[in-house]
Amino acid sequence: MKFLVSSSSSTSFFTSSLGFFSDSLKRAIFSRRASSTISAASAMDCNSSCMLVLRGKSPAENKIAEALKNTKALKLSDGSEVSILLDSESEKRFKEGEAFGVDSFMKSLSTDRFGRFLLWSPRLPSTQDVVSQNFCELPNGAVCVADVQFKGRGRSKNVWESPKGCLLFSFNLLMEDGRVVPLIQYVVSLAVTEAIKDVCDKNGLPYIDVRIKWPNDLYLNGLKVGGILCTSTYKSKKFNVSAGIGLNIDNEKPTTCLNAVLRELSATTYQFRREEILAAFFNKFEKFYDLFMHQGFQSLEELYYKTWLHSGQRVIVQEKNDDQVVENVVTVQGLTSAGYLLAIGDDNQMCELHPDGNR
């Protein structure tokens, strides 16, 4: 893995790493590249109409759903046709167990803001695009969930085909302080890992130890099971942030998933469900977000460092001075105030490590 590096004495072009980074995977485990083998989603005509099912937790939020349907205000970024249904109108269209369990999700949700307005689709190009394209039309904290994505995105504009068995969702939030916007991906990552622990506690299950690989990947037993992508635009003196999450719950290929690991750890017949994990995520994220906004990321740092993979990791820094390349080994200490890796050299000199955007 390469990094851009800055320090007090010199500028480095990149670093290579020891240990975990050298084993990082280029392709997401919860999905496959769109150019690879054809799935049920890609076998369908990608230009055909997509469906969005709307549901609010309260009567007021359901009124918003009705207004969005009546005005046909929601659009897809590629201009393709989208049909809009209220959840009450969609009940007879899908067999029980095949569709996202909207009722189950809403009953498990205990938030005041996040996740209370739901858009669900059996198949979408990208949940992230739906949220970002319709930011002004949707209430703050709205979430879009898809069973299948065929134009999902990762960092560096990587395109992913995301099959069934994954929890695929994006949500929106408004932020005013641009200095803390880059840190929101860490709050999201931590909320995912802690939500999984909460579900395990609630159901008397052994912990599924999902860990954070900086800056935005989720790993389980050394294999990638999820990732986070946060994007933002600036409008009317506020940042419109769209956070997208993919988590492999029930698709073992090409590596592993939460339910596969659970079966290895326990004889239970319980299986993780998307609805339960999504509700647990928002219940946890809202608490973390309030702490983050009122007390800063330092209020979450201790828990974050217990969950990530990098404390004490040794990293080789290659510094180019004129025509010479000098290698130094540094040790990861934590995060800087800007959200980059903070490392210290054997000479006690501090440096900041930036990802190259490829992983």
Answer yes or no: is pLDDT of 299 > 90. Answer: yes
- The Cβ of residue 316 has, within 10 Å, a number of other Cβ atoms equal to 14
Average of per-residue pLDDT across 260-266:
96
Band of residue 5 on the pLDDT scale cut at 50, 70, 90: low
The overall average pLDDT reported for the chain is 85
Per residue in 181-194, pLDDT (tens digit) is 999 999 999 999 99
pLDDT at 47: 45
pTM of the model: 0.85
Answer yes or no: is pLDDT of 252 > 80. Answer: yes
Per residue in 10-22, pLDDT (tens digit) is 333 333 333 333 3
Structure token pair of residue 354: 């930036």
Indicate the range of 2-6, 110-114, 134-138, 238-242 predicted with least confidence: 2-6
pLDDT at 277: 98
Answer yes or no: is pLDDT of 101 > 60. Answer: yes
Band of residue 158 on the pLDDT scale cut at 50, 70, 90: low
Answer yes or no: is pLDDT of 163 > 80. Answer: no
Beta strands in the chain (DSSP E): 3-7, 11-12, 14-17, 32-33, 50-56, 82-86, 117-121, 143-146, 149-153, 159-162, 166-175, 211-213, 217-220, 223-235, 238-248, 314-321, 324-335, 341-345, 350-355
pLDDT at 304: 98
pLDDT at 10: 37
Per residue in 314-353, pLDDT (tens digit) is 988 887 788 888 888 999 999 999 999 999 999 999 999 9
Band of residue 355 on the pLDDT scale cut at 50, 70, 90: confident
Per residue in 20-48, pLDDT (tens digit) is 333 332 333 333 343 333 333 333 444 45
Q: From residue 114, give the alpha-carbon distance in Å to each of 110, 140, 284, 340.
A: 9, 7, 10, 27
Structure token pair of residue 212: 């954070």
Burial pattern 179-205, b for ≥16 Cβ within 10 A else e, equals ebbebbbbbbbbbbbbbbbbbbeeeeb
Per residue in 198-226, pLDDT (tens digit) is 999 999 999 999 999 999 999 999 999 99
Q: Which are the contacts of 259, defined by CB distance < 8 A and separation ≥ 6?
A: 249, 250, 271, 272
Answer yes or no: is pLDDT of 9 > 60. Answer: no
pLDDT at 16: 35
- Placement of tokens 């990530």 in the chain: 308
Per residue in 80-100, pLDDT (tens digit) is 789 999 999 987 677 666 789
Burial pattern 281-301, b for ≥16 Cβ within 10 A else e, equals bbbbbbebbeebeeeebeebe
